[in-house]
Amino acid sequence: YVMLDVQTGIDQEIKYDIIDIYGKNLKSLSLGKFKFINEKINLENLNAGMYQIKVQVGSSVFSKLIIKK
């Protein structure tokens, strides 16, 4: 699991994508509008490897590389 903890101060649309190392989007999920959210992202169905989690909060985009063993 990966924890997604976002605090914005105002209601903003929050979405995330899980992308493999080849650029294939494996999962997209829109979580809705929130001021803050603490979401557990399940990675159990993914093979061992490197993935990018791209998070969109309003018009801002953040990404993080993760390695699943």
Q: What is the pTM of this model?
A: 0.86
pLDDT value for 1: 86
pLDDT value for 52: 97
Q: How far apart are CA 65 and CA 50, in angstroms?
A: 7
pLDDT value for 9: 85
Please give the sequence-ordered ranges of beta strands (E in DSSP) within 1-69, or none if there are none: 2-20, 25-41, 49-57, 60-68
Q: What is the pLDDT of residues 1-56, one digit of tens each?
A: 889 888 888 999 999 999 999 999 999 999 999 888 898 999 999 999 999 999 99
